[in-house]
């Protein structure tokens, strides 16, 4: 059977299993077994056992459940309230006023959570009712939250960057460092859009009539101090080389538990809920990663990645043409699968052709995360849309329409890092040279 036909059969089987509602991990295991049994000759059981064992005891992977637990603890603390009241006095005079709380609040929480869904839930729980109560238009409130919450995937510590690093054998610390500047660029794009809308139509940001003075602003900073210390402890320990990402994740769990306890809003019951939720999420991701590793090995035995890369090379696509095609491919994939599934499903097949085109795998990881961010706010399976729908009760198509400008801004971000790859590669190179 020819390679295109084999690829079509396996892809059709995968799509059929996913359409039937089979778990992503089980679907990957089944497709891998079919590939080995039907199109290759190694012992499937032995390959399955050794692959699962070999890919489930990675020390780098230990950072994943710890960062997830840190985010779950903070999700149940009073952090969102403190961040809103800490940021609001400083943003009241900017065009767009308190709409910037969604943008900067999401960027700050992204630096301690690693998850876009957790960012949307935490910031939205406090900001959405408060902004609507103050008369801000619903579409702008929802749109800024939906778009800015995607920063949870990019600004370190990013769970999806850990998954990409483990799946492609890239340094997680370098990926974290590489995500900083693009994350700041996207934050600036989102904030700039809000300011532009505020200048064009001042009615979107009601004037409260009185503005905070310097004494109130400085007093508000005290409410931001805990999260700043947490970011400095976790991210600073990685960037200075004092701790590995796994060590920093453990430190983050301890610090987040202390912050939550000192805020007076935490309890052993909430800690138990955070632990159970983190365990469920971590087990799900680990299961998908093990299945994806098995599928990657199976595809290697069949020879599909190598032959597919050769076929793509024979098309004579330039680097930019390839990236344009991949952007469309990943956005479509992201409409039906969550971000982690997109990464683990595609990296083993896509990476050989990416490297053959001369694209840096570290740069490609950041590009991939931004494209996956775009899929988080596109229906029908945009996870951020579901989170915000749950918070507000607004139908998902209305939420997606409000988030559309931020989808386009994320596309601008992809164009910027493609035109100026130094936005991704400069900081890791500078840190390595120290």
SS3 assignment, position 378: coil
The DSSP string of 44-111 is: HHHHHHHHHHHTS--TGGGHHHHHHHHHHHHHTSSHHHHHHHHHHHHHTTSTTTTHHHHHHHHHHHHH
Q: Rounded to 5 degrees, what angle do the CA atoms 13, 19, 21 make? A: 110
Task: Over range 243-260, report the average pLDDT.
Answer: 85
Give the per-residue pLDDT at 410: 93
Give the per-residue pLDDT at 208: 65
- Cα–Cα distance for residue pair 114/369, rounded to 1 Å: 12
| pLDDT single digits (tens) 277-325 | 888 878 877 787 788 778 777 877 777 666 665 666 666 777 888 898 8
Question: What are the structure tokens assigned to 255, written together?
Answer: 């610090």
Give the per-residue pLDDT at 157: 80
Long-range contacts of 44-51 (CB under 8 A, 24+ apart): 47/294, 47/297, 47/298, 47/301, 48/294, 51/290, 51/293, 51/294, 51/297
Question: What are the structure tokens assigned to 18, written together?
Answer: 């996913």
| pLDDT single digits (tens) 105-139 | 888 888 877 777 777 877 877 788 888 888 888 88
Q: How many CB atoms lie within 10 A of CB 117?
A: 23
| pLDDT single digits (tens) 65-86 | 888 888 788 777 777 677 777 8
Give the per-residue pLDDT at 215: 75
In the chain, domain spans:
3-421
Instruction: Give the CA distances from residue 372 to residues 70, 116, 154, 327, in Å, rounded to whole numbers and listed in that order.
Output: 23, 11, 10, 9
Instruction: Please say if the pLDDT value at position 421 is more than 70.
Output: yes
Q: 285 φ, ψ to 5°?
A: -65, -45
Task: Over range 335-359, report the average pLDDT.
Answer: 77
Question: What are the structure tokens assigned to 256, written together?
Answer: 């987040």
Using only the alpha carbons of the chain, give its radius of gyration: 22
Give the per-residue pLDDT at 239: 76
Residue 352: CB partners within 8 Å, gap ≥ 6? 305, 306, 308, 309
Instruction: Give the CA distances from residue 164 to residues 5, 72, 220, 344, 391, in Å, rounded to whole numbers and listed in that order.
Output: 28, 21, 38, 7, 30
Nearest CA-CA partner of 428 in 165, 160, 140: 165
Give the per-residue pLDDT at 306: 63
In this prediction, residue 417 has a pLDDT band, given cuts at 50, 70 and 90, of very high
Task: Over range 184-201, report the average pLDDT.
Answer: 92
Instruction: Please say if the pLDDT value at position 345 is more than 70.
Output: yes
- Tokens 């912050």 -> residue: 259
Burial 125-144 (b: 16+ CB within 10 A, else e): ebbbebbeeeebbebbbbbb
Instruction: Give the CA distances from residue 218 to residues 85, 89, 102, 207, 240, in Å, rounded to whole numbers and listed in that order.
Output: 12, 9, 20, 21, 29
Burial 60-88 (b: 16+ CB within 10 A, else e): bbbbbbbbbbbbbbbbbbbbbbbbbbbbb
Nearest CA-CA partner of 159 in 323, 334, 29, 344: 344
- Cα–Cα distance for residue pair 384/400, rounded to 1 Å: 9
The answer to whether the pTM exceeds 0.85 is no
By the 10 Å C-beta count (0-12 exposed, 13-18 middle, 19+ buried), 200 is classed as exposed
- Cα–Cα distance for residue pair 279/163, rounded to 1 Å: 16
- Cα–Cα distance for residue pair 392/141, rounded to 1 Å: 11
Cβ–Cβ under 8 Å, residues 237 and 248: yes
SS3 assignment, position 379: coil
């Amino acid at each position: 059977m020819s390679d295109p036909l084999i690829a079509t059969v396996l892809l059709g089987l995968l799509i059929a299993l996913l359409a039937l509602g089979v778990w992503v991990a089980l679907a990957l295991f089944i497709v891998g077994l079919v590939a080995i049994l039907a199109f290759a000759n190694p012992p499937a059981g032995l390959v399955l056992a050794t692959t699962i064992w070999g890919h489930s005891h990675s020390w780098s992977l230990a950072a994943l459940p710890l960062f997830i637990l840190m985010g779950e603890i903070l999700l149940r603390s009073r952090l969102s309230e403190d961040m809103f009241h800490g940021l609001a006095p400083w943003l009241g005079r900017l065009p767009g006023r308190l709409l910037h709380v969604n943008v900067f609040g999401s960027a700050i929480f992204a630096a301690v959570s690693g998850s876009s869904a957790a960012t949307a839930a935490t910031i939205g729980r406090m900001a959405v009712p408060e902004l609507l109560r103050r008369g801000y238009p619903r579409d702008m409130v929802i749109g800024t939250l939906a778009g800015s919450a995607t920063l949870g995937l990019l600004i370190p510590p990013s769970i999806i960057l850990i998954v990409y690093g483990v799946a492609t054998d890239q340094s997680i610390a370098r990926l974290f460092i590489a995500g900083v500047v693009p994350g700041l660029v996207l934050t600036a794009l989102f904030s700039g859009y809000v300011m532009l809308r505020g200048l064009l139509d001042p009615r979107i940001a009601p004037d409260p009539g009185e503005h905070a003075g310097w004494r109130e602003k400085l007093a508000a900073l005290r409410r931001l101090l805990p999260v700043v210390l947490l970011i400095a402890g976790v991210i600073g320990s990685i960037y200075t080389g004092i701790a590995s990402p796994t060590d920093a994740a453990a430190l983050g769990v301890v610090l987040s538990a202390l912050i939550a306890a000192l805020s007076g809003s935490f309890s052993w019951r909430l800690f138990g809920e955070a632990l159970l939720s983190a365990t469920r999420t971590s087990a799900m991701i680990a299961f998908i990663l093990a299945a994806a590793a098995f599928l990657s090995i199976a595809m290697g035995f069949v020879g599909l990645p190598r032959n597919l890369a050769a076929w793509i090379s024979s098309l004579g696509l330039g680097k930019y043409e390839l990236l344009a095609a991949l952007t469309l491919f990943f956005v479509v994939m992201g409409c039906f699968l969550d971000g982690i599934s997109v990464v683990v499903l595609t990296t083993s097949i896509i990476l050989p052709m990416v490297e053959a085109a001369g694209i840096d795998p570290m740069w490609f990881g950041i590009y991939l995360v931004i494209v996956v961010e775009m899929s988080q706010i596109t229906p029908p399976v945009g996870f951020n849309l579901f989170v915000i729908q749950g918070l507000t009760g607004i139908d998902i198509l209305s939420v997606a329409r409000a988030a559309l400008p931020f989808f386009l801004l994320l596309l601008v971000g992809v164009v910027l890092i493609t035109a100026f790859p130094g936005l991704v590669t400069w900081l890791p190179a500078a840190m390595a040279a120290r």
